[in-house]
Structure 1
Amino acid sequence: MLAAVTIHIRTATAQDWPQIWPVVAEVVRAGETYAYPLDLTSEQARQLWLEAPPGESVVATDDDGSVLGTAKMGPNRPGHGDHVGTASFMVASSARGLGVGRALGEHVVAWHRERGFHAIQFNAVVETNAAAVALWRSLGFEVVGTVPEAFRHPTHGLVGLHVMHLPLRTGRAQG
């Protein structure tokens, strides 16, 4: 049984990158959930992950300040698509099963609601990532489509990418 941990979520800063990078590197190198290049460098990843406004990146930490996971969120598209948000998540393997993903997911949904987004769209949830698909469904997301064979999984071969959607119904006509 996993020990209980208190999870704190806060805005990520540039000073957090040395703790965020190992989480990102681990997830990317596994090649099972993101279409990022396996040889992604720390600098490339930092530019991809640390969102500028109107987006935001956050870290989930324990009581000691150790980074357990991270998320980034913001508008899915610019201009006429900025009323729909999106997000990406990564959890350290050592922190999986502790509720970090759920805490980050709940935070991201609240973040989008507070900012008046109409909905959240996840563009590419690997269909074999059963834990993520189950988590997002438990938070109210639905699979609205699957792009067949859109992801080269290292052990499952070509698998689909789900597009998942959560209506927030708050309306946001323009940014």
Structure 2
Amino acid sequence: MVIREATGGDWDEIHPFFAAIVEDGESYAYPDGLTAEQAASLWMERPPGRTVVAVLDGRVVGSAKMGPNRPGRGSHVGTASFMVDPAVRGAGVGRALALHVIDWHRREGYSAIQFNAVVQTNTGAVRLWQSLGFQIVGTVPGAFRSRRHGPVGLHVMHLAL
């Protein structure tokens, strides 16, 4: 697997799994019915942020975006979002992207990474982040409307770097 900077040309391969994950309604609070252009504007980061893709056997199978969690006085803490093509879940793509993102934040001088909204019922993601040292520092009850579970909590997760 190769993880590299995303280009505009990668969007055609990212968009199908982006749309499927958003439509699934279990992990992202993006609005339903986004056009490909609207979705790209939400996912493809501009500096100081960055978007990468995971390429396996010549195919884009995952993507992550990263950068400062807040501007100005909050810019020393990073954040990130991840999407993995459901067809390759369990193949280590998410972990590889996560390790890449953590290393990037360290190299860029961030003091921590904060995830603002990890869906409580997204247990695979929660387990992954905890296995990499992230801690749940709080949960906002009922803040996410899961398509399958109804209102569930959103975890705020933190990793000191």
Name which of 62, 85, 101 aligns with 1:92.
85
What's the counterpart of residue 50 of structure 2?
56
Q: Deviations for 1:89-121, whole angstroms, at most 9, x for unmatched residues?
A: 000110100000000000000000000000000
RMSD, aligned α-carbons: 0.5
User: Where has structure 1 moved over 6 Å in runs of 4 or more?
Assistant: none
Q: Deviations for 1:3-23, whole angstroms, at most 9, x for unmatched residues?
A: xxxx11000000111001111
Contact 1:8 1:63 in 2 (8 A): no
The Cα of 1:63 is off from its aligned counterpart by 2.7
What's the counterpart of residue 153 of structure 2?
160
Separation of aligned partners in 2, 1:98 and 1:10: 18
Listed as ranges, the gaps of 5+ residues in structure 1 are: 1-6, 169-175
Q: Which has the larger radius of gyration?
A: 1
Separation of aligned partners in 2, 1:95 and 1:45: 21
Name which of 97, 116, 125 aligns with 1:104.
97
TM-score by length of 1: 0.91
The Cα of 1:38 is off from its aligned counterpart by 1.4
What's the counterpart of residue 23 of structure 1?
17
Name which of 5, 9, 12 aligns with 1:11.
5
More strand by share: 2
Name which of 41, 45, 49 aligns with 1:47.
41
What's the counterpart of residue 108 of structure 2?
115
The Cα of 1:41 is off from its aligned counterpart by 1.3
